[in-house]
Amino acid sequence: MYVAVKGGERAIEASWRLLDKARRGDTRLAELSVGQIREQLRLAVSRVMTEGSVYDEELAALAIKQAAGDLVEAIFLLRAYRTTLPRFGYTQPLDTEKIVAERRISATFKDLPGGQLLGATYDYTQRLLDFALMADAQANGDERAAHVAEPQASATAKTEAMPRVVTLLNKEGLIEQETPAREAAEPRDLTREPLAFPANRATRLQNLARGDEGFLLAMGYATQRGYAHSHPFAGEIRFGSVTVEMELDELGEAVEIGEIDITECQMINQFAGSTEVPPTFTQGYGLAFGHSERKAMAMALVDRALRAEELGETIESPTQDIEFMLSHSDNVEASGFVQHLKLPHYVDFQAELELVRRLRAQHVEQTQAARTASIDSTESNEPDQEQAA
């Protein structure tokens, strides 16, 4: 049974107008600009860029505004736009040891070459609402909101090269060496090729970088609660800007094409060793655009858990199952699959409805037949009982 929907196009257009009105909100208040979102909601912008796979702060801020603050929707918008952009080529690997760091901490070594740099973080703040922020906004009004300051370089940024924390362990041979094999194939590009299994580590890291922060956070938390052979230490977390280089065929060499902000995390995990490898430390790795520490840390935790098979560990939980983790980490796919349930399923439901009605009718008939058979059996046994008496 199918019921035709009338006036669908007009209803959808009306829904668009209502959406624009709901997005704008109270017109007595100044409209939030893309520039304000970019400068003042930078952590949201970083997440949208990372999971949207596009490093463009302005486009990410636009997507957040268009999505009325729904970051998953904003990520979807940015990814959709990404598919319309031309591909010029691939950049050179980032040299994160040359990062101009605004923040760099380690939970494993107090005294680091280059020092620790706290930078701007919520880690040392009390989680109390600051009502002064509300008062400042009301006092300054729209004039302050309309002004966007020119970006300034951080006064605390470290410009000298910062060797990684793991080099301290390398000197004693206490941590695994991660060097790409010469015969290793070029990493697959998940933005152009569908995910396939088995998936090597390069593919897994691409997937996790685009994965939903909430999902990775929950799975990373699960690894800490015992759902993986994991005892992690935050070896190093860095946030700052790095130079992006690209090799141009016309010049035959790599040239700098710009700088981007990134967050990098290396987790250090204990490894009991095997018959071939002595007890040592292993690594989990995470990298995200902008200031995205929670995402990078969760990614590093999950990356280490997914290395169970290559390290000879027993796979005992979903956090170590590559297919489970990679197939369910993408919030764009997950959101689409869940939200498609809002679309009309009239025909499917009518078929299910008719099936349930038919099954219920059969159930009633079978119940009545069984009851009748039970009564007949009781009546036939009564004379035998009287004779026995």
How far is it, in rounded angstroms, from Cα 178 to Cα 283? 9
> Angle at Cα 123 formed by Cα 117 and Cα 126, nearest 5°?
135
Q: How confident is residue 152, by pLDDT bands cut at 50, 70 and 90? A: very low
pLDDT at 293: 94
Summarize pLDDT for 248-257 with one digit per residue, the tens: 878 778 888 8
Contact assessment for residue 328 and residue 334, using Cβ atoms and an 8 Å cutoff: yes
Confidence of residue 1 (pLDDT cuts 50, 70, 90): very low
pLDDT band at 26 (very low <50, low <70, confident <90, very high): confident
Predicted local distance difference test score (pLDDT) of residue 130: 82
Residues 240, 57: Cα–Cα separation, whole Å: 15
Q: Model confidence over 294-348: pLDDT tens digits?
A: 999 999 999 999 998 888 888 889 999 999 999 999 999 898 889 888 888 888 8
pLDDT per residue over 213-224, tens digit each? 999 999 999 998
Query: Is residue 112 within 8 Å of residue 237, measured between CB atoms?
Result: no
Mean pLDDT computed over 48-59: 95
- Across the range 116-140, mean pLDDT stands at 81
Annotate 89-154 with DSSP letters as a single string: --BPPP-GGG-EEEEEE-SS-SS-TT--B--S-STTS-----HHHHHHHHHHHHHHHH--PPP---
The mean per-residue pLDDT over the stretch 232-237 comes to 90
Between 57 and 164, the more confident residue is 57
Q: Report how far residue 213's alpha carbon sits from residue 72's, in angstroms, rounded to the nearest whole number.
A: 10
- The rounded percent of the chain whose pLDDT value lies above 90 is 38
How many other CB atoms sit within 10 Å of the CB of residue 48?
32
CA pair distance 4, 346, nearest whole angstrom? 10
pLDDT of residue 128: 86
If you average pLDDT over residues 384-389, what whole number do you get? 55
- Angle of CA points 303, 305, 306, to nearest 5°: 65
Q: Would you place residue 142 in the very low, low, confident or very high pLDDT band (cuts 50, 70, 90)?
A: very low
Confidence of residue 3 (pLDDT cuts 50, 70, 90): very low
Task: Say if residues 104 and 239 touch (Cβ distance below 8 Å).
Answer: yes
C-alpha–C-alpha distance, residues 164 and 267, integer Å: 12
Report whether pLDDT(147) > 80: no
Per-residue pLDDT at 145:
40
pLDDT value of residue 386: 54
How much is the average pLDDT of 54-77?
94
pLDDT band at residue 44 under the 50/70/90 scheme: very high
Q: In this model, does residue 48 exceed pLDDT 90?
A: yes
The span from the CA of 12 to the CA of 40, in Å, is: 33
Q: What is the pLDDT of residues 74-111, one digit of tens each?
A: 999 999 999 999 888 888 888 888 889 899 999 888 88
- Structure tokens that stand for 315 in this block: 């796979």
Residue spans of the domains in the chain: they are 9-82, 96-120+153-177+189-340, 345-373
Q: To the nearest whole number, what is the mean pLDDT of the chain?
A: 84
- What does the pLDDT read at residue 269? 86
Confidence of residue 150 (pLDDT cuts 50, 70, 90): very low
CA distance 150 to 39: 10
Q: Which are the contacts of 2, defined by CB distance < 8 A and separation ≥ 6?
A: 346, 347, 350
The pLDDT value recorded for residue 53 is 92
Task: Please give the backbone phi and psi of residue 115, each rounded to the nearest 5 degrees, phi first.
Answer: 80, 165
Output the CA–CA distances (angstroms, integers) from residue 106 to 125, 177, 223, 291, 343, in the order listed. Answer: 19, 20, 20, 16, 48
Q: Which alpha helices (H) appear in 148-273, and where do they start and end?
A: 166-170, 201-210, 213-224
Tell me the average pLDDT across 54-82: 94
Dig out the tokens for 231 from the structure: 């005892």
Indicate whether 154 pLDDT > 50: no
Residue 19 tokens read as 């959406």
Q: Is the pLDDT of residue 9 over 90?
A: no
Q: Confidence band (pLDDT; 50, 70, 90) for 40?
A: very high
